Amino acid sequence: MAEEIDDDLYGGNVSSGDSRGDYRNEEEEDIPVGAVDYLHDVPLHMQAQIGEVHKTMKEVLLMKPGAVVEFNKVVGEPMDVLIGGRLMCRGEIVVVNERYGIRISEVVRAEDSKKEIS
């Protein structure tokens, strides 16, 4: 029995046969290798990390307003900027129109961003 296959996932063109190998459509061939303009509007979550510290549950539960938590970074040391949870760059904290910002001083290479954040 010949099985029907949906060749065009969006257009609904159906053909019969058992050829399951190539699912690329004509539109994919029009996008040159390396062209990523279609990704420019994808939202990304960026976060700045000022440092980290390990505390016990008891220490966290004993915190009160006014408590100071000391992190591992030294004043003036570059802050880490993460995109999607992955280290992408480092920079210094600045103030822009009464808001915090980061002036990028170092862009991290892709292979370095996989390593543990220092």
Share of the chain above pLDDT 90, in %: 36
Q: Which residues pair with 7 in a beta bridge?
A: none
Q: Which domain holds residue 65?
A: 4-113
Return the higher-pLDDT residue of 113 and 50.
50
For the chain, the domain total comes to 1
Query: Is residue 11 domain-resident?
Result: yes
Q: What is the pLDDT of residue 106?
A: 94
pLDDT at 94 over 50: yes
Q: What is the pLDDT of residue 55?
A: 95
pLDDT at 109 over 80: no
CATH of the domain at 17: 2.30.330.10
pLDDT at 57 over 50: yes
The one-character DSSP state at 30 is H
Q: What is the pLDDT of residue 91?
A: 93
Q: Which residues pair with 79 in a beta bridge?
A: 91
Query: Is residue 118 domain-resident?
Result: no
Query: Is residue 83 domain-resident?
Result: yes
**CA distance linking residue 101 with residue 96, whole number of Å:** 6
pLDDT at 85 over 50: yes
pTM above 0.85, yes or no: no
Q: Are 37 and 30 in contact (CB under 8 A)?
A: no
Spacing of C-alpha 106 from chain mean position = 17
Q: Which among 110, 39, 46, 27 has a CA at the least distance from the CA of 84?
A: 46
